[in-house]
Structure 1
Amino acid sequence: MSVIGIDFGNESCYIAVARAGGIETITNDYSLRATPSCVAFGENTRILGVAAKNQMVTNMKNTIWGFKKLLGRSFRSPLVQKEVQAFPFPVIEMPDGSIGVRVYYGGEEQTFSIQQVTAMLFTKLKEIAEAALHTKVCDCVISVPSYFTDAERHALLDAAAIAGFNVLRILNEPAAVGLAYGIYHQDLPPPEEKPRNVIFIDCGQSTTQVAVCAFNKGKLKMLSCLADPNLGGRDFDNELALHFAADFKKRYNIDPMNDKRAWLRLLTEVEKLKKQMSANSNELPMNIECFMEEKDVSARMKRADFEKLTENLLRRVHHLMRSCLQDSGLRVEDVHSVEIVGGSSRIPAIKQSIQETFRKPPSTTLNQDEAVSRGCALQCAMLSPAFKVRDFSISDVQMYPITLKWLGPDSEDGEMEVFPVNHQVPFSKMLTFYRKEPFTLQAVYSGNIPYHNPVIGEFKIDNITPTAEGESPKIKVKVRVNMNGVFKVASASLVEKKGAEEMEQDAASPSAMEETEDGKTPKSNTTVPNTNAASDDSQKNGPVGENDVPMDEKNDKQDQEKPNHMDGNGAEEGETKPERKGKKAKLVLKTVDLPITSTVCQLSKDVINDLVERESKMVMHDRQEKERIDARNAVEEYVYEMRNRISDDLQEFIASNDREKFMQFLDETENWLYDEGENCKKSVYVTRRQDLQKHGDPVVARKKEFDERPLCFDQLGGGLQQVRKALDLFAQGDEKYNHIDAEDMKKVEKALQEKEAWLDKAFNSLSNLPKEKNPPILAQQIRAEKQALDNVVMPILNKPKPKVEPPPAPKSEGGEAPSAESPASEAPDGASAASSKMDVDQ
């Protein structure tokens, strides 16, 4: 079982896997670690990843890129309208207000949603992982920017489901980087000591994120996290491109901004120039051949001019870092180190800004490109039962405040901020309402957020009726931001008061959960249902509290005050316990689960199932198309190879008339490939190649036989010489073979005579054979004769000599053999031990 972590970037994706006791990054089919976030469409197939990026300029209207910024957004969003202006491919509004892209695929125009395009990229990443690991891959953790909203996270989960992934968790990129940092540092302070504060700055292709984390041994707590969704490496590229576009318009009288293809080429070249300026402060050239209107253009720039040109962007980076530090409540002196990741963090001006802001040099102990994917792989291994990983808990923060709105009892609207900015995530809260009829809760993002639609979703709670006395029953609602950063109403329950006798009658009810009057729940087997479509929240390192529901102190206090109206956290008041003589009667509470209908920005199960089936069909079609193209390429390759060889090393092995016919067949096949054979089925190409091989393979076989025969004859002749030499030694009485029976040696001599006769005959039959004729004896037959000879003679010639038993030692006069351990002084006449042994031998 393999688990992977995916860094889903706007420009590139990285895949990391946990195996062999560590984390490693997977390379794709081009032996690259980075797989471009590009999806292209040909006439009959999809082109994904590196291949799609390589033909972006030539197939720009059918190549989709930059779609991460469109995921989960509405078409009329101002940010989307700004993004669409830079795309050369058509982007349209779907009937539900979402975004779609129109491409030419399968011989017709087709429209795909952003979730489908993202799923296509995930399909490619899954294919890369399975090819590298040689096993099926299903479980994964995918990273997202910290500013992603519920709609964007739901859209990502939908895309992953379409691709066949089981997402164990969506992990914010700063948290992934923090995990990759913290789990490998064994010198972190213990929990009872002051934590180590580390700042992580992630400057990516389209986003800059700054996070302040507090580390203790085995624990990460996010203190603050800020992001600028519209500040990244591409913005630096755009500033350079605009500068050079104005320069080219002035000097060459061309405007690249009016030509999408020229603009893409310019962006590619200025990105290369930007990387060169990061390593070199001298003035550097930029040259583009045949840029527009068949004109070659050139320009020059040095790092100082680049920094002046992008001064406003650098100022935004500085402001983001200062704001994040201020939100965390820390001083510069409290910061242990500043870690940088992301490709754009290599810009020297950004490093200098970090130095000036935090008075510390930026640290590059993490892999700037792969840190996010490695953190995701670690988290996936922690959540998978197949791996044993060191315990390390992650406490993230809520990026935007979440407010809950509702309609009051007297048609009065009410609202409450349930999760403020930088609130701990994952986290649950229990709210109490008083209602006589079903009601709806609306969750929205409050405050200043850079999004067109602040609504998260609506949650309708049904099956609410008045009590027997006509009063409003007590409704407890559990709201939660789960480990994926998704808000949901986890459960709703109606609390009924009942006496002990009534409870005994209802004890068999499977949906009831008992509570005492003070609100504390005794142990029971009741399970709170998960009514939302989001992923399971169970996490071994999550916070715990009453009923495994984390509650803050303010919420507990408000629940204990028990006001007689709904204020967001209200409860009942005026409850009394009935008394009996001699024994106090206990009033108990019965809790009944209520159904919740959620309306969120998420695809329904039926729609996802249809899209899964459609994606599976496209994957199958891609596989069949690849096999068809491979078969066609095999025919084309065979034509070119045999044409060259027939005129070169195979020329002597084919008759002149056969060569002319074969060359004509090869030329006809080549013309057929580029005419009526352009789009044939795989079986047609296979049949065509087999017809070619009927002519070419015998020629190749004759050449192969001609090359192998001399070696085979040498091996057989050498074996015969060795056997003849052994027979001569036997005849001379050589001690090497004097233990072999004469009958066995006759068998050896007979085998020798038979093989020598066969060799003479074979050699004579092949000596005058023309090269263009098929040989009557093949190299394989010669090897078989050599093996037959070895099978007969080798067991005889290699027969081991019989072992000779050593003679028994003579006995002494006393009837006992002399001891080998007798000292030399005991030898007769004072002789040495050695001379004593010599006397015995005599």
Structure 2
Amino acid sequence: MNRGQFEEMSAQYLMKVEMPLKSVLEQSKLSRDDIYAVEIVGGATRIPAVKERIAKFFGKDVSTTLNADEAVARGCALQCAILSPAFKVREFSITDVVPFPITLRWKSPTDEGLGECEVFSKNHAAPFSKVITFHKKEPFDLEAFYSNPQELPYPDHRIGCFSVQNVVPQPDGDSSKVKVKVRVNVHGIFSVSSASLIEKQKGEGEDMQIDSEPMVQNEGRAEDQTKMQVDQEGQSSGDQQNEDNSSSSKEGASGEKQDPAAGGSKPKVKVKSIDLPIVANNIRQLDSDVLNNFVEYEHQMIVQDKLVKEQNDAKNAVEEYVYDLRDKLCGIYVKYITEEDSSRLTLMLEDTENWLYEDGEDQPKQVYEEKLDELKRLGQPIQDRHREQEDRPRAFEELGKKMQLYMKCVDSFKQKDERYLHLSPEEMSTVEKCVNESMGWMNSMMNAQSKLGITQDPVVKVAEIIFKIQELEDVCNPVINRPKPSVEEAPEVNDQNSGAHNGPTAKQGAEGKGSQQTKPGAKEMEVD
């Protein structure tokens, strides 16, 4: 069977590709001309017949540059960049929506009929909160369910039942205003998050003014006690929203507020808000305690994962050290260890390797660290001897260059070099003494080191030589590099009134004591 025959047999199924495309255009209220680019993601979209029908529907070529994992990663990265203050991105409008409409149904024990209202329509923005106002005299139940069961991928359309408790009538016998807050959070989970009863204060007025927004009556009853009102509060981030835009919204657990809706001819009414308990029954969600336990369990697993990672890292460090040291014992370290010590250390490395795959397969982190320290006590001296042998000649050479440089400066000073005439003999003597001491120390160390074998620990370490270089520089550099002091010519002062003058300059002495001359460029000053 070729591709053409297969697509012909599958034509009735391939035609269904256009159905979700038409639906999404209708729901988004966009036209094909409004679509700038089409990116298809997922394995089935790679089928040529599917791509062909999608391209034909939108009238443009489709792009297949992402697989499903990359699409999620790119979306997460974009959302993080939008939220981060450290990145600047283009203005994107990303709004999550409620995929399936949600309806609330209610009834109190004395109600004869049921009332219901669709609180979140299809493609409603999320996260989102709404405050619903009921007029009730007794506790009542709120049943939440998905409005269109046929659209659900799951057969049960129920969400749960929420009982609002402790509802009582007003002191005068009227129905109480009960404000219920429902919310769809950022994860698309519906909940009745809070409820409060608005109570009139005694002796402050006869009637309470209700909210000014349009009222939606209960479908089963028309009395005030079953009236319901919805205050919408949308927000695109978090839970910070104004919970009630009406004039009689709650002001706290026990706060008071005057109703500004009351006109000048009507007395002002003081009210207070009382929080009401909500009991969830037959809810298709986990209780908060269960969720908290799962979160705590997740934290424990994170800690456990960290411990396992540290254990594996410690084990891998032992294995890596065994392989690395064994290879170098036959390579660059072969000259720095005796044959007897090399055989004993090689045998120890083999025993450690066998232990790792037998008894040491699953040991605590501390056991691996102790095993690594035991190996390093034998391997580290070999590594140190190799490093010292490689770096010691360069360090001694650097020390010799420094001493040679300073001795040249001392010799130049002794020969009256103009560069060093501003230095005192005592200072140069200190430099010479320090250079001689360093030279004697270097010669003694080099002689002692030459008497040792390459498999023995060194007499002097590179760190000591570097310290000696620094010590020599600290003594000599401040003296050798001191700049010459700047020479300023003193101005000549003449007293014209008395005819006296400071002693003649050399040039004046040659031209006669009676003459008074000034050097070119010098300033003349008169003193009274």
> What TM-score, normalized by structure 1, do the two folds share?
0.47
Q: Within the alignment, does 1:502 sit opposite 2:236 as a pair?
A: no
Shift of 1:494: 5.5
Identity %: 33
8 Å Cα contact 1:404-1:443 kept in structure 2: yes
Shift of 1:458: 0.5
Equivalent residue in structure 2 for 1:538, among 210, 228, 240: 240
Read off the aligned partner of 1:440 and give its amino acid letter. Answer: D
Deviations 1:778-802 (A, max 9, x none): 2222223322322222222222212
2:400 aligns to what SS in structure 1?
A: helix
Shift of 1:375: 5.0
Read off the aligned partner of 2:278 and give its amino acid letter. Answer: I
Q: How does 1:268-667 map to 2 (within 5 A)?
A: 315-328=15-28, 331-332=31-32, 335=34, 337-340=36-39, 342=41, 347=46, 352-360=52-60, 370-374=73-77, 376-377=79-80, 380=83, 397-407=97-107, 409=110, 411-423=112-124, 426=128, 428=130, 430=132, 432=134, 437-447=138-148, 448-450=150-152, 451-465=154-168, 473=175, 476=178, 478=180, 480-484=182-186, 485-489=188-192, 491-492=194-195, 502-503=203-204, 516-517=208-209, 519-520=211-212, 537-539=239-241, 546=246, 586=267, 593=274, 594-599=276-281, 600-667=283-350
C-alpha distance 433-314 of structure 1, shift in aligned 2 (>3 A): farther
2:280 aligns to what SS in structure 1?
A: strand
Deviations 1:530-585 (A, max 9, x none): xxxxx964349x9x954599xxxxxxxxxxxxxxxxxxxxxxxxxxx9xxxxx977
Distance 1:539 1:364 in 2: 40
C-alpha distance 754-403 of structure 1, shift in aligned 2 (>3 A): closer
8 Å Cα contact 2:136-2:167 kept in structure 1: no
Q: Which residue of 1 aligns with 2:233?
A: none
Q: How does 1:766-781 map to 2 (within 5 A)?
A: 766-781=449-464
Shift of 1:362: 5.4
Distance 1:467 1:365 in 2: 64
Distance 1:763 1:739 in 2: 36
Distance 2:463 2:199 in 1: 91
Q: Within the alignment, does 1:695 sit opposite 2:369 as a pair?
A: no
Read off the aligned partner of 2:352 and give its amino acid letter. Answer: T
Deviations 1:95-144 (A, max 9, x none): xxxxxxxxxxxxxxxxxxxxxxxxxxxxxxxxxxxxxxxxxxxxxxxxxx
8 Å Cα contact 1:337-1:360 kept in structure 2: no
Distance 1:677 1:694 in 2: 20
Greater RCO structure (CA 8 Å; 6+ sep): 1
8 Å Cα contact 2:399-2:465 kept in structure 1: yes
Q: How does 1:721-732 map to 2 (within 5 A)?
A: 721-732=404-415
2:477 aligns to what SS in structure 1?
A: helix
1:452 aligns to what SS in structure 2?
A: coil
Deviations 1:483-534 (A, max 9, x none): 5344334555557788xx6237xxxxxxxxx98435449xxxxxxxxxxxxx
C-alpha distance 762-310 of structure 1, shift in aligned 2 (>3 A): farther
Q: Which residue of 2 aligns with 1:717?
A: 400
Q: Which residue of 1 aligns with 2:364?
A: 681
Distance 1:381 1:838 in 2: 67
Shift of 1:329: 5.1
Shift of 1:742: 1.9
2:457 aligns to what SS in structure 1?
A: coil
Q: Within the alignment, does 1:755 sit opposite 2:458 as a pair?
A: no
Distance 1:605 1:746 in 2: 84
2:420 aligns to what SS in structure 1?
A: coil
C-alpha distance 313-810 of structure 1, shift in aligned 2 (>3 A): farther
Where do 5+ consecutive residues of structure 1 fail to align?
A: 1-246, 248-300, 505-513, 522-534, 550-576, 578-582, 815-835
Read off the aligned partner of 1:682 and give its amino acid letter. Answer: K
C-alpha distance 372-316 of structure 1, shift in aligned 2 (>3 A): farther
> What TM-score, normalized by structure 2, do the two folds share?
0.71
Distance 1:619 1:423 in 2: 36
Distance 1:810 1:539 in 2: 86
C-alpha distance 418-779 of structure 1, shift in aligned 2 (>3 A): closer
Where do 5+ consecutive residues of structure 2 fail to align?
A: 214-236, 250-261, 498-518, 524-528
Report how many residues are paired.
456
Read off the aligned partner of 2:157 and give its amino acid letter. Answer: P
1:602 aligns to what SS in structure 2?
A: coil
2:36 aligns to what SS in structure 1?
A: strand
Q: Which residue of 1 aligns with 2:390?
A: 707
Distance 1:587 1:787 in 2: 87
8 Å Cα contact 1:705-1:779 kept in structure 2: yes
Shift of 1:636: 1.4
Distance 2:88 2:94 in 1: 17
Comparing both structures, which one devotes a greater share of its residues to strand?
A: 1
Shift of 1:445: 0.9
C-alpha distance 415-775 of structure 1, shift in aligned 2 (>3 A): closer
Q: Which residue of 1 aligns with 2:221?
A: none
Distance 1:546 1:389 in 2: 38
Deviations 1:357-391 (A, max 9, x none): 23355589999555532453366559xxx999999
| Root mean square deviation, CA, Å | 4.6
8 Å Cα contact 1:339-1:365 kept in structure 2: no
The structure with the largest alpha-carbon Rg is 2
